[in-house]
Amino acid sequence: MTWMLIMSIALTISVALNLFVVWYCVKLLRELLSVSGSLEDLFSEISLFSQHLEKVYELETFYGDTTLDNLLSHARALVKEFERYEVLFSLREAPPIEEEDFDENNEKA
């Protein structure tokens, strides 16, 4: 009788711990998805900023301004750095390889 009682208590503790672990994993995954979405938004905003800066630099009024040129170079470097991290933090699949690139590589060979 004591053997059954010990096994019942052990089973109850095991089920409770497993339920806690599942709940905690779900909570962590939700948080990870939230952070990933926020980072994707940040990457998008940095890219839009860089594009906007390029358009401003191309205006006749600012064309050739060294300060804007340095700022544009810095923005491009920042976008490249963020692109490296975007691959690491993105939870989506990588974009498929375009067929044009594949065809061009085959023609060159």
pLDDT above 50 for 108: no
Q: From CA 85, how far away is CA 72, in angstroms rounded?
A: 20
What angle (nearest 5°) sits at the alpha carbon of residue 28, between those of residues 26 and 34? Answer: 105
Q: Report pLDDT digits (tens) over 13-22.
A: 999 999 999 9
Confidence bin at 94 (pLDDT 50/70/90):
low
pLDDT at 73: 84
Which distant-in-sequence residues (6+ apart) come within 8 Å of 47 by Cβ? 79, 82
DSSP 61: T
Determine the angle formed by the axes of helices 2-58 and 66-89, rounding to 10 degrees.
160
Instruction: Report, as an integer, the average pLDDT of 8-31.
Output: 95
pLDDT above 50 for 27: yes
pLDDT at 75: 84
Q: Which is more confidently placed, 68 or 25?
A: 25
What angle (nearest 5°) sits at the alpha carbon of residue 3, between those of residues 9 and 11? Answer: 25
pLDDT above 90 for 106: no
